Chain A
Amino acid sequence: MSEPVNALGGARFDGIVQVTEVAPQGMITVRGDLGAGAMEKAVMKAAGLPIPAKTSVVMKGDHAVLWMSPDELMVVLPHGDAPAAVAAMTAALKSEHALVVDVSDARAVFALEGEGPALRETLAKLSPADMRSAALPVGVVRRTRLAQVPAAFWFANDTEARLICFRSVASYVFGILSHAATPGSEVGHFS
């Protein structure tokens, strides 16, 4: 088995927020009828979590399930568990019109840590999404545009946000996040 390698080798930037590329994560894209009983069982078996409500994320330890669209979920789990989980979910969804794909090595994941206002400000500099806490509370996934590329992010708690983007644009995303988090660039809009 080959060693999983980060896109940027775990790059880190300390600014008004800390931008860190997190260790390789297992990520599984699941598409199908989210209301089907088999889907509920397959996700519960793979991640130990229920199917999240519209636009939200459910998390427990290093497992998470993200609502990506009306017929798409992303299951986040430890990198080594992904192949077995894909096989189990594919088998569990055999009777459904569904698709299960391991996208672990096609995505990059960043963690942003810092004070809530600075965190929201850093993302608001790059994305057209409404970053006020009323519009994007903790536990809501927002798929949006980050400067020139697509990304999805959510607040795990008040001081940490997670961001997923395509691996091919990982260095671009790390660059713009670091730039937006440059010390001295505070706007103070959310504080």
Chain B
Amino acid sequence: MLILTCPYCGVACDETELSPGGEAHLKRFGPGSSDEEFETYLFHRENPKGVHFERWRHAYGCGKWFHAARHTMTLEVFGTYPAQVYEPPEDIKAAITAKVPGWSWRDFS
């Protein structure tokens, strides 16, 4: 069972209290973009065995969206952080580096 702490209300939420929102930090390509960009935005997703960044919504609680950094194999949660960011905050990156030296995910490392 996955337990994530909502960064807004500080409640330790069980997985079943949350709605999964898929991969985090996607950049939207809408009208005016090329077919390749739109295809990448719409369909291409990471499927790592290791460090992964996801979006979750505290659906049964405060209703806010947030980000979570976790390990897909060990299920270890490195941290959660608010949704209003373009990339993971430094403390989250540092927490991951401490556990998984040399990690990388899309453009982040």
Q: Provide the B4-17 mask, 1 if CB < 8 A to any CB of A, else 0.
A: 00001111101011
A55 touches B60 (CB 8 A): no
Looking at chain B's contact residues, the main secondary structure is: loop
B-binding segment of A12-20, A41-49, A66-74, A115-123: A66-74
Q: Which residues does chain A contribute within 8 Å of B48, judged by CB atoms?
A: none
Interfacial chain A residues near B11, Cβ < 8 Å: 55, 142-143
CA–CA, A69 and B60, complex, Å: 11
- Report which residue of B60, B63, B64 has the largest number of chain A beta carbons within 10 angstroms of its beta carbon: B60
User: Closest CB-CB distance, A102 to chain B, in whole Å?
Assistant: 20
Q: Is A150 an interface residue (CB 8 A)?
A: yes
Measured between beta carbons, the chain B residues less than 8 angstroms from A143 are 11, 60-62
A160 vs B21: C-alpha distance when bound (angstroms): 37
Q: Which residues in chain A, 70-90, are within 8 Å of chain B measured between CB atoms?
A: 70, 72
Who on chain A is nearest to B9 by CB?
A55
Kindly supply a per-residue 1/0 record for chain A positions 132-152, scoring 1 wherever the CB is within 8 Å of any chain B CB and 0 otherwise.
Answer: 000100000011110000100
Smallest CB separation, B43 vs chain A (Å)? 32
Kindly list chain A residues whose C-beta atoms are within 8 Å of the C-beta of B61. Answer: 69, 143-144
Pick the contact of A145 from B9, B12, B17 — CB < 8 Å?
A: B17
CB <8 Å contact, B62 and A129:
no
Which single residue of chain B is at the shortest CB-CB distance from A143? B61
Determine whether the beta carbon of A144 is less than 8 Å from that of B17: yes
Which residues on the B side are within 8 Å of A145 (C-beta)?
A: 14, 16-17, 60
Which chain B residues numbered 29 to 68 have a C-beta less than 8 Å away from chain A?
60-64
The 0/1 profile, CB within 8 Å of B marked 1, for residues 141-171 of chain A is: 0111100001000000000000000000000
For B63, what are the chain A residues with a Cβ–Cβ distance below 8 Å?
Answer: 69
Q: Is A183 an interface residue (CB 8 A)?
A: no
Closest to B14 in A: A128
A residues within 8 A CB of B62?
68-70, 72, 143
Q: B residues 59-91 with Cβ under 8 Å of A?
A: 60-64
Residues in B neighbouring A70, C-beta threshold 8 A: 8-9, 62, 64
Nearest CB in chain A: distance from B80 CB, A:
15
Q: What would be 12 A-B contacts, judged by CB atoms less than 8 Å apart?
A: A54-B9, A55-B9, A69-B61, A69-B62, A70-B62, A72-B62, A143-B11, A143-B62, A144-B61, A145-B16, A145-B17, A145-B60
Beyond A69-B8, A144-B61, 4 extra complex contacts between A and B, CB < 8 Å:
A129-B14, A135-B12, A143-B60, A144-B60
7 A-B pairs closest in CB distance: A69-B62, A128-B14, A143-B61, A145-B60, A70-B8, A150-B60, A145-B17
